[in-house]
Protein backbone atom coordinates (compact mmCIF):
# COMPACT_ATOMS: atom_id res chain seq x y z
CA UNK A 1 0.00 0.00 0.00
CA UNK A 2 2.81 2.42 0.85
CA UNK A 3 4.42 1.92 -2.55
CA UNK A 4 1.12 2.54 -4.38
CA UNK A 5 0.46 5.74 -2.42
CA UNK A 6 3.92 7.09 -3.21
CA UNK A 7 3.56 6.17 -6.90
CA UNK A 8 0.14 7.83 -7.08
CA UNK A 9 1.45 10.96 -5.35
CA UNK A 10 4.29 11.25 -7.86
CA UNK A 11 1.90 10.82 -10.79
CA UNK A 12 -0.55 13.42 -9.41
CA UNK A 13 2.31 15.86 -8.82
CA UNK A 14 3.40 15.53 -12.45
CA UNK A 15 -0.13 16.31 -13.67
CA UNK A 16 -0.52 19.15 -11.15
CA UNK A 17 2.72 20.76 -12.35
CA UNK A 18 1.27 20.88 -15.88
CA UNK A 19 -2.30 21.91 -15.01
CA UNK A 20 -1.74 24.59 -12.37
CA UNK A 21 0.26 27.00 -14.60
CA UNK A 22 -2.41 26.72 -17.29
CA UNK A 23 -5.19 27.66 -14.88
CA UNK A 24 -3.30 30.54 -13.22
CA UNK A 25 -1.27 31.61 -16.26
CA UNK A 26 1.92 30.83 -14.37
CA UNK A 27 2.77 29.77 -10.87
CA UNK A 28 3.27 26.28 -9.56
CA UNK A 29 1.78 23.78 -7.16
CA UNK A 30 3.00 20.64 -5.46
CA UNK A 31 1.57 18.04 -3.10
CA UNK A 32 3.94 17.23 -0.25
CA UNK A 33 3.51 14.12 1.88
CA UNK A 34 3.93 14.94 5.56
CA UNK A 35 6.56 13.01 7.46
CA UNK A 36 5.68 9.65 8.87
CA UNK A 37 3.95 6.57 7.53
CA UNK A 38 2.45 7.29 4.08
CA UNK A 39 -0.66 5.31 5.03
CA UNK A 40 -1.53 7.63 7.92
CA UNK A 41 0.24 10.94 7.25
CA UNK A 42 -1.39 13.96 5.65
CA UNK A 43 -0.75 15.96 2.50
CA UNK A 44 0.28 19.59 2.20
CA UNK A 45 -0.49 21.64 -0.89
CA UNK A 46 2.26 24.14 -1.67
CA UNK A 47 1.37 26.79 -4.23
CA UNK A 48 2.94 29.80 -5.82
CA UNK A 49 0.54 32.15 -7.60
CA UNK A 50 1.97 34.73 -10.04
CA UNK A 51 2.50 38.21 -8.59
CA UNK A 52 1.55 37.17 -5.03
CA UNK A 53 3.67 36.28 -2.04
CA UNK A 54 1.54 33.60 -0.42
CA UNK A 55 2.40 32.24 2.98
CA UNK A 56 -0.92 30.52 3.66
CA UNK A 57 -3.89 29.33 1.65
CA UNK A 58 -6.08 31.60 3.76
CA UNK A 59 -4.45 34.57 1.98
CA UNK A 60 -6.06 33.56 -1.32
CA UNK A 61 -9.37 34.90 -2.52
CA UNK A 62 -12.35 32.55 -2.71
CA UNK A 63 -11.98 32.22 -6.47
CA UNK A 64 -8.27 31.45 -6.22
CA UNK A 65 -8.95 28.77 -3.60
CA UNK A 66 -11.57 27.23 -5.87
CA UNK A 67 -9.15 27.19 -8.81
CA UNK A 68 -6.46 25.53 -6.66
CA UNK A 69 -8.87 22.77 -5.67
CA UNK A 70 -10.02 22.41 -9.27
CA UNK A 71 -6.42 21.95 -10.43
CA UNK A 72 -5.88 19.35 -7.70
CA UNK A 73 -9.07 17.46 -8.60
CA UNK A 74 -8.15 17.44 -12.29
CA UNK A 75 -4.68 16.14 -11.40
CA UNK A 76 -6.19 13.22 -9.48
CA UNK A 77 -8.75 12.62 -12.20
CA UNK A 78 -6.09 12.45 -14.93
CA UNK A 79 -4.15 9.85 -12.95
CA UNK A 80 -7.13 7.67 -12.10
CA UNK A 81 -10.43 8.66 -13.73
CA UNK A 82 -13.57 7.91 -11.81
CA UNK A 83 -16.87 6.82 -13.32
CA UNK A 84 -18.26 10.36 -12.82
CA UNK A 85 -17.16 13.73 -11.57
CA UNK A 86 -19.30 16.30 -9.75
CA UNK A 87 -18.12 19.87 -9.31
CA UNK A 88 -20.17 22.13 -7.10
Q: Model confidence over 8-49: pLDDT tens digits?
A: 899 999 999 999 999 988 888 998 888 888 888 888 888 888
Helix (H) or strand (E) holding 43: strand 43-48
Residue 56 predicted with pLDDT over 80: no
What is the DSSP code (8-state) at residue 58?
A: G
Continuous segment of H or E residues that includes residue 21: helix 2-24
Residues above pLDDT 90, as percent of the chain: 23
DSSP H or E stretch at residue 70: helix 62-79
Q: What's the length of the chain?
A: 88
Maximum Cα interatomic distance, the chain, rounded to a whole number of Å: 39
Q: Do residues 26 and 48 make contact, with C-beta atoms less than 8 angstroms apart?
A: no
Amino acid sequence: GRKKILEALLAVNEKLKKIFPQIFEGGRAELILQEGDPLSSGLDLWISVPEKNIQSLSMLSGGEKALCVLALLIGFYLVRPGPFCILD
